[in-house]
Amino acid sequence: MYNKKSIEDIGEGFRGKRVLVRCDFNVPVKDGVITDDKRIVGALPTIKYLIAHGAKVILCSHMGRPHNVLDDKLVLDKKEKKKIDALPESEREAATAAALEKAKGDITKLSLKIVADDLNKKGIPTILAKDVVGPDAQAKAAALKDGEVLLLENVRFHAAEEKNDPEFAKKLASLADMYVNDAFGTAHRAHASTAGVADYLKTAVCGYLIQKEITIMGKALEDPVRPFVAILGGAKVSDKIGVINSLLEKCDTIIIGGGMAYTFFKAMGNQIGTSICESDKLDLARDIMAKAREKGVNFLLPVDNIIGREYKEDTTFMRIYSDSIPDGWMGLDIGEKTQELFSKTLVGAGTVIWNGPMGVSEWENFASGTRTVAKAIAESGSISIIGGGDSAAAVEKLGYADKMTHVSTGGGASLEFLEGLELPGIACLNDKD
């Protein structure tokens, strides 16, 4: 699917060069502490390779979605401004001042200082710039010595980042001589730091994380070991239309679970109670099932479900067959018979791709389906690819991650990759000769 140059294709060519590296340091933070450092750990092989080859390393990343810090200034977001504009004119000035004072928290909460501190603790001496393309970043980038590391401040502190503004991209690129993208999780976004900078830097290659993603997932899609099984869950059919249609051309079996299953049930004429359903996608669901039959793809839906009275963790629940969910009840997980069916289907599978939970897996009463599927994949002996997001979180939490061939670092990006769409953050990189 992609045949891109990697850092190993450059090697000693990095020596003495300033190299801008797009990482995904959007780590979860609670009470000023990083609660999961996997994204930082995942970036270390690429960073260490560049240091070992004498590069002057300039790291950049986003952190969250700042609403109040744009272009190095505190601003009101649209909701806040609308609320204040509705106040009497005499109250607006004080309300604006109070909102901006409160907004200062974004500067601290979404600063990459915590990542710089963590990199230092991990043995990567890292300098933090106070800005992204401002005078501090420029001065510190210019002063870098071979093998030194600079981390720029949160790129989303600039509105121009997500707009892929050419001038901002040009300023960012001017800090460096070469570009490395190692942030698969944002590769589906055409932002300044993920794609725009490659317009101004002749050498643009992928790091180890992206190289691994496109190699493993690309091989699975282009030349899968069969039988090839795809497991798709999550809430909505509409989120995965493209993926389903793409996989129908490649898979031997497609397994559907999660909330999206109830749209298919309704399309079949089954009662689904108050289960989640996209009523405007019923014809689409019928078309998908017809296409599966036409192509000889084994299309599996749940045969039984765990249903609840309300969408609540502690709601009353029971097991029932999928064709007879009563009024006033909603499906929240796959049932025991379905768990057995799906598990048996995975025995002997050659390649398995999984994206999306089987139920409301964050609630214990409705997590059994997701747990069972994760266990079955881990024990299948297949080439197993977990497509990021909730599925990746589930296998990590359950301790199965080391039993999977590959756990993707990007939920949205992996879905678009599986769909066969072009990812801007990868398409912009240099092709191999």
As annotated, the active-site residues are 39, 236, 389, 412
Q: What are phi and psi of 30, to 5 degrees?
A: -135, 125
Separation of alpha carbons 350 and 346, rounded Å: 9
Do 356 and 389 touch, CB atoms closer than 8 A? yes
Q: Which residue has the tokens 């560049």?
A: 50
Tell me the C-alpha to C-alpha distance, in Å, between residue 305 and each of 205, 272, 308, 355.
47, 11, 10, 19
Classify the C-alpha dihedral 369-374-379-383 as positive or negative. positive
Tell me the C-alpha to C-alpha distance, in Å, between residue 227 and each of 89, 173, 313, 355.
68, 45, 37, 18
**Token pair of 305, please?**
């479900």
Going by C-alpha positions, the residue among 413, 419, 431 that lies closest to residue 194 is 413
The total of other beta-carbon atoms located within 10 Å of residue 225's CB is 13
How would you classify the pairing of strands 253-256 and 228-232? parallel
